């Protein structure tokens, strides 16, 4: 891109070594041209099965530089999308269910929080009991709020103006998934076992299941729309979402969309008490995030929207945020006890 830019930093011998390296690393021809490589896929001979494969036709530069292509190619290079990952048997909600089974007596279901007030020696939370229809008040020494930050911003609170401003700066993103039950044609006919396929289509991608391989049926996610345009897709009637999803499957696997049955579409922005999959980072300034990382009076903030972990979304971030707050609270209580002991002595 910069003609002769390396001439000032490489000697003649180093230039020859670099060219030799690029020829081997890039699988270039003797004329240093890329003409395809077996490393990026190959074509098998239909007339001579078992013969040595030949290189596939190289992808054109214009297509190779398309952001939708190289963005997908780099997907597994990001830590949160590493190629080898464990998953809970039965789905991600098995983790929250396991917590609930061990904390059933401490969990108050159907409690819609209305108000938060800090007291001299504690915190008072007013909530609407959806079972009895009554307003209830619960008091505690400290409050750890894990509400999604945009929802917390709507509550009646006595937080300081900077904290309220930080909460109001947050915005939820949008995301919609469409999934189907289907025979595992992607395994039997395409030898595809897990992973994602990106497509130039409103449904964006196909996500193949990585569990229960080689069984009869599987759950195929045929549409995961996030970011720009996700609100439009998620607002469509279910039948329109299903039609777009079926079209995406047909685009990549012609003739197989008729196998799809029992569709399900979920838009996170339409889920009560969540109203979004994660925060839009561009609307959450670093100083606002840093402010909410610290306690304010007897109130602490935790959740996947806070970035103690660096990922900033999903259960991994929520767990790290919880550990961060528990550490803060434990240190505070220990200091108070030490101060009380010194005063008593």
* More confident position, 7 or 94: 94
Q: How many helices (H) and strands (E) does the chain have?
A: 11, 13
pTM here is: 0.82
CA-nearest of 107, 106, 126 to 116 is 126
Q: CA torsion sign, 133 to 139 to 144 to 145?
A: positive
CA dihedral 8, 14, 20, 22 (to 10 degrees): -40
Q: Name the range with the highest mean pLDDT among 34-48, 111-125, 272-286, 303-317.
A: 111-125
Q: Please report which helix (H) or strand (E) contains residue 127, including its range.
A: strand 122-129
Instruction: Answer left, alpha or beta for residue 297, where phi above 0 means left and psi between -120 and 50 means alpha.
Output: left
Give the pLDDT confidence of 1-29 residue by residue, as tens digits: 567 777 778 888 998 999 999 999 988 99
Give the pLDDT confidence of 268-314 residue by residue, as tens digits: 999 999 999 999 988 888 899 999 999 999 999 999 988 655 677 88
Q: Which pLDDT score, from 0 to 100, does residue 53 have? A: 66
pLDDT (average), residues 224-238? 93
Q: Which pLDDT score, from 0 to 100, does residue 51 have? A: 65
Q: Which pLDDT score, from 0 to 100, does residue 305 have? A: 87
Tokens of 97: 């269910």
Measured distance CA(329)–CA(144) in Å, rounded: 9
Q: Report how far apart, in Å, the C-alpha atoms of 79 and of each of 93, 282, 310 are.
A: 22, 20, 10
Q: For a pLDDT cut of 70, what percent of the chain falls above it? A: 93
3-state secondary structure of 13: helix
For tokens 């007291």, what's the residue?
119
CA-nearest of 323, 317, 316, 327 to 149 is 317
Burial class of residue 271 in the structure, from the number of CB atoms within 10 Å of its CB (0-12 exposed, 13-18 middle, 19+ buried): exposed
Q: Which domains does the chain have, with CATH numbers?
A: 111-171+280-330 (3.50.50.60), 175-270 (3.90.660.10)
Measured distance CA(240)–CA(174) in Å, rounded: 18
Q: Which pLDDT score, from 0 to 100, does residue 78 have? A: 76
Q: Which pLDDT score, from 0 to 100, does residue 338 have? A: 94
pLDDT band at 239 (very low <50, low <70, confident <90, very high): very high
Q: Which pLDDT score, from 0 to 100, does residue 85 have? A: 76
Q: Which pLDDT score, from 0 to 100, does residue 215 have? A: 97
Q: Which pLDDT score, from 0 to 100, does residue 61 have? A: 80
CA dihedral 223, 229, 235, 241 (to 10 degrees): -30
Q: Which pLDDT score, from 0 to 100, does residue 1 have? A: 54
For tokens 């009869």, what's the residue?
216
Measured distance CA(325)–CA(256) in Å, rounded: 49
């Amino acid at each position: 891109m910069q003609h002769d830019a390396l001439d000032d930093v490489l000697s003649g011998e180093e230039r020859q070594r670099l060219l030799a390296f690029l020829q081997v690393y890039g699988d270039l021809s003797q004329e240093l041209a890329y003409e395809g490589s077996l490393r990026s896929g190959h074509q098998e001979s239909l007339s001579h099965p078992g013969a040595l494969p030949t290189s596939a036709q190289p992808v054109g530069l214009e297509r190779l530089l398309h952001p939708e292509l190289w963005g997908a190619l780099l997907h597994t290079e990001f830590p949160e999308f590493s190629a080898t990952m464990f998953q809970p048997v039965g789905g991600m909600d098995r983790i929250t269910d396991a917590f609930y089974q061990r904390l059933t007596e401490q969990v108050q279901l159907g409690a819609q929080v209305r108000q938060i007030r800090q007291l001299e020696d504690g915190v008072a939370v007013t909530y609407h009991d959806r079972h009895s229809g009554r307003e209830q008040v619960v008091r505690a020494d400290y409050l750890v709020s894990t509400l999604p930050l945009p929802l917390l911003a709507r509550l009646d609170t006595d937080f300081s103006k900077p904290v309220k401003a930080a909460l109001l700066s947050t915005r939820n993103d949008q995301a919609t998934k469409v999934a189907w039950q289907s025979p595992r044609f992607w395994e039997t006919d395409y030898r595809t076992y897990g992973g994602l396929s990106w497509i130039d289509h409103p449904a964006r991608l196909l996500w193949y299941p990585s569990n229960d391989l080689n069984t009869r049926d599987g759950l195929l996610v045929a549409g995961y729309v996030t970011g720009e345009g996700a609100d439009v897709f998620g607002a469509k009637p279910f039948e329109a979402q299903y039609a777009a999803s079926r079209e995406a499957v047909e685009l990549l696997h012609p003739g197989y969309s008729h196998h799809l049955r029992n569709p399900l579409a979920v838009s996170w922005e339409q889920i009560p008490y969540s109203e979004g999959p994660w925060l839009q980072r561009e609307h959450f300034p670093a100083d606002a995030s840093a402010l909410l990382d610290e306690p304010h009076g007897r109130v602490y903030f935790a959740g996947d929207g806070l970035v103690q972990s660096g990922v900033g979304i999903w259960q991994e971030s929520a767990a790290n945020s919880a550990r961060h707050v528990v550490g803060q609270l434990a240190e505070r209580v220990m200091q108070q006890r030490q101060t009380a002991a010194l005063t008593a002595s």
